[in-house]
Structure 1
Amino acid sequence: MDKEQQNDSPGLYPEGGWKANSVVIGSFCSIMGGLGLMNSIGIYQAWISTHQLESMSAGQIGWIFGIYNFLIFFCGIQIGPIFDAKGPRALMLVGSILIILTLILVGFCRVYWHFLVVIGILGGMGTSFIFIVPVASIGHFFYRRRGAATGLALSGGSIGGVIFPLVLEYLAPKIGFAWATRVIALITLILLIPGCILVQSNFPPKPSLSSKREILPDLTILKDPLLALTTLGVFFIEWGFFIPLEYVVSYSLAHGMSRRLAYLTIVFFNAGSFPGRWLPGIMADKIGRFNTLILTNVLCLIAVLAVWMPASGNVAATVIFAVVFGFASGSNISLVPVCVGELCSTESYGRFYTTVYTIVSLGALTGVPIAGEIIHRCQGAYWGLIAFAGCSYAAGLVCFIVVRFMQERKGKKGDRTIPLADTE
């Protein structure tokens, strides 16, 4: 973002102390509550498709969650410049209110448009605030230890993704779906309060950063083939990522697993994602960020095509898939932004990030509805959906490999405009 390079001196960052560590604590709590819905969204998809909306096709229901995924990215890229201009407090409050409203109102939803508005629009917008603001605040307090601090905070989302499915699975049969979601809303509220209190900024607001140049995407930057291929690769992997996250529970139910065991697949997914959000970041500092992104996406591809595809409902294979894919895909959140940062100068990062994720949000919008329609065309079988997810990851992997190859060629020719060293 404009003038952001002024804050690039490591001496401006506390790297610890009560104030900085309290921001990490507040971010951890708020992400645990705020991204709990995102990381357990497969439970809600499975429930409403077998209860309130059981008469509707998987493709139609998929648009609810496609819009939810789309707004997480699309609204989030607009929140960043507002954060720079106004600080985090008001944004945290707005996001927290929207998430609590979503969890309360979803219990009153009965027809399609209710879920579209509540989960798709309110839930997507609310999650986008908690997805962006706490992480951006950590960046104000940590420079050398930014990866470790951010990974620790983001791991809270995986813990929320373990807790909330267990709560819903245990309470829904006893007190009903509506009251179970209200209990989750109460837990979420308790977790969001420390975030609203503790998350703060370390630098003074910079209103000039809210200029249109930073907020609006700039498609002309895609003339750079490295950035264009990276954007395309991220588009493909986001196409693939949300499919297992949102359909693994339905897949398990369709293959005869008990409801309890099917719901636990999301728990296994998030258990794997917990170390997957911070261990690859540590590895990236040693072997390179694009290299690590390639390796984790190879693991995603293997998990989808070599484990999930032949599983055919086998319990052990499905659990192994959930854990492995959760670990490998968990790295995307932390690695993609820093990989984009390697392709531009610091002062241009806001514009590049906005452009990339504006395009990627379209993949998040369409991936789940396409997968739902594939299930419909395959008469309820899941092999087509799994193949689609696998092909998406394969396409993204090819893009990243080509980018890395082009980086190497530029390095050998002495062109250092694209940094090959993985430094902050």
Structure 2
Amino acid sequence: MPKNSVLSSETELQDGIYELTSRAAAPVSARTDEADAKSTKTMATVGGAAPLLGTSKAASASDGPVQAGNLEDHYPEGGIRAWLVVLGCWLALFTSLGFMHILATFQAYLSPAQQIQLRPGPVAGAIFGYASLSLLLGIYVGPLFDKYGPRWLILAGTVCSVASLLFVSIGTEDWQLFVALGILSSLGSAFLFTPAIAAVGHFFKDRRGFATGVATTACSASAVVFPFILQALFVRVGWAWAMRALALICFAITVAANFLIRARLPAARDANPHPHGRVFRTKGFAATVLAVVLAQFASFLPLSYMSSYALSKGFSEADSFNTVAILNASSLVGRVVGGWSADKIGPFNVSAMLSAIAALACFGIWLPAGGTKAGITIFAVIFGCASGSSVSLVPVSVGRLCKTQEYGRYYGACYTVASLVSLFAIPAAEGVLREDLGSYWALIVVTGMFYVAAAATFVATKLTVTGWRIWAAF
């Protein structure tokens, strides 16, 4: 049994799987596929888990030199260098994910009354173009990260993100807005998001969930900060200079990310920079993607309609805003706590439990008591904590199914498929609302059922990889 990898109260089972008998266990280890098993006899890993070697302990916090052949076996698990990478990831995510909130604010700001030739309709088209292209590019950016590392990708993301805002500041026609926001900004977000997340996995294995959870709190922060900054700038300096000021802010943030984000493992120079369908043949990966799709689809609905739901129940605009703010603040806590818990009992176990909790919150609180102030507040807190991990636990779960040097390829494929499917969440929800004549009863039921399906799929995926080991940490 690897030193420091499991607690004394755990029982070792076959194939390197550890069963929980008290409070925590090491990550499950299993074979990713037959080809990897034959070529790497000393390893039987599920993603970022340590190989089953007699000396597979994490590297010291000082991150001292490690032989090249054993880099996959030793992780800093902390120290200044590792946490600076987490900080760089936070900054990159703050900018890349913040662009979605920027675009939403654009749509609210632009109207026929504004003294520019841009209209809300084309802005909506730019938002859809941004969402579609930035998600689709993830399946290419992941393999590029594995082959070349994060440096040039993060730099390209910086250039595209800043340039898009500068072009918007001088644009006066709809097509210019679409090119700047729908194309340039999507390229910037794609080049920033996946490499930043994947780089964290190079420095953490046993604490990967917590580190990723801390980094993804940038999602909640950007949802608050960017709209607030833009609203203030629009009033004081107008559209053009607001864009230039925002470009300067993004430039400062992403330049810092360029200096902080780095890969620890050597780039796989012989890796194919193009997507490959073989990742979906890896044991448990396709089921993991399905589980992530179900969970993300379900999380999109309350996040998108919580404000309008509150207004439909007679709450004031202030109460509606506060409910959304409570949900976002709770999701920040959920990302950190969910990531920490995943390090203890496994990301699939945590994802299944949180999906079940979200389903119970929908059926037990939102459906019967959502029309009361106390009910909707309690639901926002519980649902925010449960759904907040939907971003932070995806890379940790995927990391259990592949080697770290293929982390970008697997994560990019999973995130791309899951996010593209999630684009249909809003149109589907609109259809449900129309059929239900504006009532939210059916929408709440659909959300709860998707979470039930997600919880069941996470459990099924775990059992597919570990066998019938109910208490295995996975």
Tell me which interval the TM-score lies in, with the shorter structure as reference length: 0.7 to 0.9
Report matched runs for 1:361-376 at 5 Å.
361-376=419-434
Question: Matches of 1:33 and 1:220 in 2, distance apart?
Answer: 30
> Does the CA-based 8 Å contact 2:307-2:321 persist in structure 1?
yes
Question: 1:35 aligns to what SS in structure 2?
Answer: helix
- Please state which structure has a larger fraction of its residues in helix: 1
Aligned to 1:75: 137
Equivalent residue for 1:293, pick from 334, 347, 351:
351
> Does the CA-based 8 Å contact 1:27-1:135 persist in structure 2?
yes
Range 173-182 or range 362-371, more displaced: 173-182
Aligned to 1:331: 389
Equivalent residue for 1:21, pick from 40, 58, 83:
83
Aligned to 1:416: none
Question: Matches of 2:125 and 2:432 in 1, distance apart?
Answer: 13
Q: TM-score, normalised by structure 1?
A: 0.76
Aligned to 2:278: 218
Pairing 1:196–2:258 present? yes
Query: Structure 2 counterpart of 1:31, which letter?
Result: L
Question: Matches of 2:362 and 2:157 in 1, distance apart?
Answer: 33
Aligned to 2:154: 92
Aligned to 2:302: 244
Aligned residues: 409
> Does the CA-based 8 Å contact 1:43-1:266 persist in structure 2?
no
Equivalent residue for 1:206, pick from 268, 273, 277:
268
The 3 A distance-change label for structure 1 pair 69 and 336 is same
Structure possessing the higher relative contact order (Cα contacts under 8 Å, 6 or more residues apart): 1
Question: Matches of 1:277 and 1:134 in 2, distance apart?
Answer: 17
Question: 2:225 aligns to what SS in structure 1?
Answer: helix
Listed one character per residue, the Cα deviations across residues 36-60 of structure 1 (whole Å, up to 9, x for unaligned) are: 234677656666799999997xxx9
> Does the CA-based 8 Å contact 2:216-2:335 persist in structure 1?
yes
Pairing 1:275–2:333 present? yes
Question: Matches of 2:360 and 2:339 in 1, distance apart?
Answer: 21
Listed one character per residue, the Cα deviations across residues 323-381 of structure 1 (whole Å, up to 9, x for unaligned) are: 33232122122323333444556677666545544432331222222223444555555
Aligned to 1:415: none
The 3 A distance-change label for structure 1 pair 364 and 29 is same
> Does the CA-based 8 Å contact 1:67-1:365 persist in structure 2?
no
Shift of 1:286: 2.5
Query: Structure 1 counterpart of 2:217, which letter?
Result: S
Choose 1 or 2 for highest CA Rg: 2
Question: Matches of 2:72 and 2:279 in 1, distance apart?
Answer: 32
> Does the CA-based 8 Å contact 1:309-1:386 persist in structure 2?
yes
Question: 2:423 aligns to what SS in structure 1?
Answer: helix
Structure 1 stretches lacking a partner, 5+ long: 413-418
Q: TM-score, normalised by structure 2?
A: 0.69
Question: 1:205 aligns to what SS in structure 2?
Answer: coil
Equivalent residue for 1:153, pick from 189, 208, 215:
215
Query: Structure 2 counterpart of 1:296, which letter?
Result: L
Question: Matches of 1:107 and 1:378 in 2, distance apart?
Answer: 42
Q: Alignment identity in percent? A: 35
> Does the CA-based 8 Å contact 1:37-1:161 persist in structure 2?
no
Shift of 1:294: 0.9
Shift of 1:92: 1.2
Shift of 1:205: 3.0
Question: Matches of 1:240 and 1:37 in 2, distance apart?
Answer: 22
Aligned to 1:36: 98
Question: Matches of 1:63 and 1:381 in 2, distance apart?
Answer: 28
> Does the CA-based 8 Å contact 2:370-2:379 persist in structure 1?
no
Question: Matches of 1:240 and 1:50 in 2, distance apart?
Answer: 35
> Does the CA-based 8 Å contact 1:290-1:339 persist in structure 2?
yes
Structure 2 stretches lacking a partner, 5+ long: 1-31, 41-46, 52-67
